[in-house]
Amino acid sequence: MKTLGWGRRLFAVSIILLLVSLFITVKQNIIRRDDILNCSTKAIMHFEDTVTESVNVHIHFNFNAKGKGSIVVEGYSDSEAGWLYLQRYVQFDYNSKRVSPSARYYQINRWVSSKSSIDQSPDVIFDYFMREMSDSHDGLQLAMEKINADTVLLSSINSPLFICALKPGSQLE
């Protein structure tokens, strides 16, 4: 009979330890959960020829669950072709890695862009824009640093790029 009492206590302690460890795991986000990042920003960027190669655009970044994301770029480009409307959609797959409580790296693996029917900007201008986020391995890499509850800093491997306002639905812990 003493063995049965000892066994029950061991079982109860094991259950309590299991519940405590599950609580801590959920609290620390160790159970797989995607940080969903949805933000927008405005950018004016100058490229090779700073006088005639530039964009003035709104950019919408969406890093959604399960490694799927998109970028929408809309505004105007300036080039030798003139001041033209630009509207591009980029779909991509990504992996992310949290490097600190307020920072995360996004590695964009496969991306495909499409042009809206009203976009008249030269492709080379959009290519310059996308190359700003390049990690020189035919992929794109962005570092995200949470500035405060409403904004994040998105940087390339080389330099800061955008201060991005978080949209409703972003789930950054």
The C-alpha atoms of residue 85 and residue 118 are separated, in whole angstroms, by 7
* pLDDT number for residue 128: 85
Does any domain span residue 172? no
Same domain, 59 and 126: yes
The runs of H, that is alpha helices, within the chain are 2-27, 123-131
Number of structural domains, the chain? 2
Same domain, 27 and 44: no
pTM of the model: 0.75
DSSP assignment of 39-88: EEEEEEEE-SSTTT-EEEEEEEEEE-GGGEEEEEEEEEEEETTEEEEEEE
* Mean pLDDT value of segment 8-36: 67
pLDDT one-digit tens code per residue, 99-120: 888 899 988 888 899 999 999 9
Same domain, 123 and 51: yes
Q: Is the pLDDT of residue 171 over 80?
A: no
SS3 assignment, position 21: helix
> Domain range spanning residue 3?
1-31
pLDDT more than 70, % of the chain: 86
Q: Is the pLDDT of residue 94 over 80?
A: yes
